[in-house]
Amino acid sequence: MRFQTELVPARLIRRYKRFLADCTLEDGCEVVAHCANPGSMMGLAEPGTRIWLEPNDDPRKKLRYGWRLVDHENGHFTGVDTGLPNRAVRAALEARQIDALRAYRTVRPEVKYAEGSRIDFLLQEEGLPDAYLEVKSVTLCRQPGLAEFPDSVTTRGAKHLGNLAEMAQAGHRAVLLYLVQRTDCGEVDLARDIDPGYAQAHAAAYAAGVETLCIGTHISPRGVELAAPLALRGPAR
């Protein structure tokens, strides 16, 4: 997926109120950018970090810039927009580019399936069990080469795992897809020290038959594309 407009480099001054970031453009101009990430963004929001912003001239938007990437200045990038993974995964599903889910031709986003919940994608194909797919954006890295999820306590994430387990027990396919929005990681693990409850929910979901997929990304200031599958550490796969 290519970005709609050409990104511009900047330096982060500070991130605040979860969705706002003060930034300095290369010409010295200070701007406020929308940060489409409600998570902790651990390790990604240090003042002085080189980042990439997407300009817009949409009169309906309050801010003229959206924060899209962290540039680690070593050839690697991290995508910080938590809305992008679903768009990228949808495009890949419709193009039948995800091997484990290639057999499904009908892709339905945001379908109600449990009390108070919507599944990211319901995949359907005649002769196959329905597949309920939940997508999670992974951006945390505390050890070289290892991506972790979550970066903060997520009761919502644990609830999603419980819902997926119910679908698996009912005879459907239930799939959790960790999309790693980093180009410097080759493995994925659960951040058990950050949220033990989520790790327990993941183990219970695995025991109930929930599948876990981990997929990397190619990221540059031009866009983000799905890359090769990544390995998941630990016994629960």
Count of the separate structural domains present in the chain: 2
Is residue 25 domain-shared with residue 101, that is, in the same domain?
no
Per residue, what are the HEC states of 140-185? EEEECEEEEECCCCCHHHHHHHHHHHHHHHCCCEEEEEEEECECCE
Domain span at residue 90 reads: 84-232
Same domain, 130 and 57: no
Tell me, yes or no, whether 202 lies in a domain: yes
The residue out of 79, 109, 138 marking a domain boundary is 79
Check whether residue 47 and residue 102 sit in a common domain: no
Tell me: pLDDT of 237 over 50. no
Check whether residue 101 and residue 176 sit in a common domain: yes
Q: Say yes or no: 209 and 115 in one domain.
A: yes
Query: Is 237 domain-assigned?
Result: no
What confidence tens digit (pLDDT) does each residue in 112-161 have? 998 888 999 999 999 999 999 999 999 999 999 999 999 999 999 999 99
Give the Cβ contact number of residue 73 at 10 Å. 9
Q: Does the structure show a pLDDT above 70 at 220? A: yes
Mean pLDDT of the chain: 95
Q: Is the pLDDT of residue 88 over 70?
A: yes
Q: Is residue 155 part of a domain?
A: yes
Shared domain for 63 and 94, answered yes or no, is no
Residue 51 identity: I
* Domain assignment present for 1: no
- pLDDT over 80 (residue 234): no
For residue 32, being part of any structural domain is answered with yes
Stated pTM of the model: 0.94
Please report whether residue 3 resides in a domain.
Answer: no
Asked whether residue 220 falls in the same domain as residue 143, the answer is yes
CATH of the domain at 133: 3.40.1350.60
Q: Are 75 and 90 members of one domain?
A: no
Would 180 be classed as within a structural domain?
yes
Residue 52 and residue 13 in one domain: yes
> CA quadruple 152, 154, 158, 164: dihedral positive or negative?
negative
The H or E element spanning position 202 is helix 196-208
